[in-house]
Structures are given as C-alpha cells and as structure tokens.
Amino acid sequence: MHTELSIEFFPPQTPEGAAKLKAERARLAELQPTFFSVTYGAGGSTQARTFETVREIAAEGHQAAPHLSCIGSTKAGIRDILAYFKAEGIKRIVALRGDLPSGMADPGELRYANELVEFIRAETGDWFHIEVAAYPEWHPQARSPRDDLQNFARKVKAGADSAITQYFYNADAYFHFVDEARALGVEIPIVPGIMPIGSFSKLARFSDACGADIPRWMRKKFESYGDDLDSIRAFGLDVVTELCQRLLAGGAPGLHFYSMNQAALTCEIWKRLTG
C-alpha cells in the first residue's frame, strides 16, 4: 500500500526548540513524507521563524510547504514573500486566510483565502502547488454549513490544487463533507488532517478553541483514565489508528499529520498502518 503522507510543524521559538525539532524531523523523515508543512502565526507573527524552518527543511532535501496567511497583509508584502519562496525553490504553499492579531483592526488588502489563492495564481502562474484548508465539521466562524461549503468551493475555483482538513475524530463527518464538495463540482484531493493524542487535557483545550469535536464516548473514556498517561496514550493510539484505517479504506487520498513537533505518535500510527 502506498499512502501519501504529509506532516505539519510549527516554527520553534528557541534554539533548544529548533534543535529538538531537527531531531524529531529526522525520525519523521524516515517515513518518507511527500512534504513537511510549517505554520505561520496570526498576521505573520512568526514569519522569520517560519522562513528559517522552511529553509532548514529544504536544505535537508525535503519538500517544504510554508503556510501563508493573508489577513492583515498587503499585496506588496505577499508579493515579496512569494518572490522569496520562489528564489528558495519552494514549490508548495498552504494558502490560508489566517487570524488577525488581537488588537489589530485592519484586515488588509486580501481578506479571504480565495482572494489569496487568486493572487498567488495571478502573480506566479502554476509555479506553486497550492493547498487550502477544509472544515468537515464547519469553520467555527461560518454562518452555516452551506456557507462554509461554498467558501471552500470558492477557494478551489480560485486555483487550489488540493485541500487539507482540520482534524476530526468522526470519519462520517469527513465522508459527508467530501460527498457534498463533490456535488458542488469540487474535484481536487481532500486530505484528512490527523491529530495524534498524547495528552487529553491539551487536546480538549485545543479542540474547544478551534471547533473540532471530540465525540462524547471518546471524551468519557479519556476522562475515566484520570492521570494515567500510559492508558491515555494507548487508547489515543488505538482510536487514531482506527480512524486512519477507516479513512483510507473509504477512499481518502492520503493523511496529513499535525505532529505538534513530536515524532513518536505519528511514527507509531504510521507503523501500525503500513506494517
């Protein structure tokens, strides 16, 4: 079985974090992912660190896909970033709307991800493979599921090549979303985003903030383990491996792991899937 794999990192904040990420990345590189993506803070707040991490990944001989968000930016600023990526030989970009940094009122010249995708295409032709985000359980700020789906279709129409979803633990939500997108004429690959579970308390906080649903049966079981980290980890591995198996059996074109800059869980799940 050959399954497309991609893995996401966030830019480390300290030299120690950068050294640790380098070691974790070396372990993950053994899985031979198609690309490593690197996140980009609200309003480009981690821009220099994102560039640095992307440069390191490329220098190690891997394909890097920097995130690029447009909110709070100018066209001239985005143009400069695209020129920089091109000069570095970067061929893949994850194009997002992003979040405005708190206290910043001006959304900038490009307010939505579809406008960013359109701008990248107009400026650089087909140089970049453009990834966009998809939300099987709907974007927390969307007015309605229908609205959210139409936003997604607009991004695809603007020139996206493929999509990566927000993480989820309900495979039906993904399959339903793909069916609805196909009914709107969306034909690009929609790759499920996978969040391995190392700590339930962290996951619960994170999920509440980004609108990802943790099914009640999972939540109850995690809560029942209390502080038993080994049981939490073992149950998390089983649940996420099973989810991945179901997604791949149902036709998902690959898997995109949110690694949280840790290799162990992603490596273990991948070994179970391919072993």
The H or E element that residue 132 is part of is strand 129-134
Structural domain count, the chain: 1
DSSP per-residue codes, 38-96: E---GGGTTHHHHHHHHHHHHHTT--EEEEEE-TTB-HHHHHHHHHHHHHTT--EEEEE
Distance CA 9, CA 145 (A): 29
Average pLDDT over residues 3-15: 93
- Six-digit token pair at 121? 């295409």
pLDDT at 101 over 80: no
- Tell which wins on pLDDT, 26 or 206: 26
> Is residue 194's pLDDT more than 80?
yes
How high is the pLDDT of residue 138?
86
Instruction: Categorize the per-residue pLDDT at 104 as very low, low, confident or very high, splitting at 50, 70 and 90.
Output: low
Residue 210 has pLDDT above 70, yes or no: yes
- Whole-structure pTM value: 0.95
Q: What is the DSSP string of 168-212?
A: -S-HHHHHHHHHHHHHTT--S-EEEEE---S-HHHHHHHHHHHT-
Domain holding 22: CATH number?
A: 3.20.20.220
| CA contacts within 13 A on the Cβ side of 6 | 25
In angstroms, how far is the first alpha carbon of the chain from the final one?
A: 10
Among 4-18, 99-113, 156-170, 230-244, which is the least confidently predicted range?
99-113
Give me the domain span that covers residue 119: 4-274
162-169 average pLDDT score: 97
**pLDDT on residue 47:** 81
Residues noted as catalytic: 8
Q: Indicate if the pLDDT at residue 106 is higher than 80.
A: no
pLDDT at 1 over 60: no
